[in-house]
Amino acid sequence: MRKIILFLLSSLIIYATFFTEKDRLDREVNRLCVLDGGVRVYETVTLPEDKFDRKYGQINFYDPAQGENALGPEYIYKWNMHYYKKGHPVSLGAQETAMRRDHVKIIRKSDMKLMGEVVKYHRAGGDLPGPWMPSSYHCPSVREANEGVLMSEIFIKSVEEKENEQSK
């Protein structure tokens, strides 16, 4: 009897690990991420010190509330979301699942040149039902690939001003 219970328990663990919707979506996130996930910079722009925040060193002309004009009149900021699986795990419960692809592009308006882009994949939910927040999985990780990383790699503080700053 113990062998049967042990067998059933181990079968359940194997099933829960490899055959749940959550794990299937995580594998799909990884597969798609290998194809085109991450940050790609095609051209950098050197800007004077006054275009950067003194406290954190990030560009100071980014306003996400402005949509495509979030980077001012010189650049187009495009953010596209494609849902592979729509769902609302936060509002409908942790057992719901959702999967999407985020694609952010920064384009120079004067010549419509693509300056850089970031592609990331995201899965949310697929957990046991309960009052907790659903789990999520990102590829690449949020620290490696996000809009802030993309902007910090495209918009660079001028070298002369960096040297002046270090000598102070």
The string of pLDDT tens digits covering residues 105-146 is 999 999 999 999 999 999 999 988 888 899 999 999 999 999
- Rounded (10°) CA dihedral 39, 43, 44, 45: -130
Q: Which long-range contacts (CB under 8 A, 24 or more apart) does 101-104 make?
A: 101/32, 103/78, 103/79, 104/77, 104/78, 104/79, 104/80, 104/147, 104/150
Residue 36: helix, strand or coil by DSSP? helix
The string of pLDDT tens digits covering residues 75-94 is 999 999 999 999 889 888 88
User: Quick one: residue 67, left, alpha or beta (phi over 0 = left, psi -120 to 50 = alpha)?
Assistant: left
What is the pLDDT of the chain when averaged over all its residues? 89
Q: For 61-102, give the secondary structure using H, E and C.
A: CCCHHHHHHCCCCCEEEEEEEEEEECCCHHHHCCCCEEEEEE
Q: What is the pTM of this model?
A: 0.81
Other Cβ atoms less than 10 A from the Cβ of 127: the count is: 19
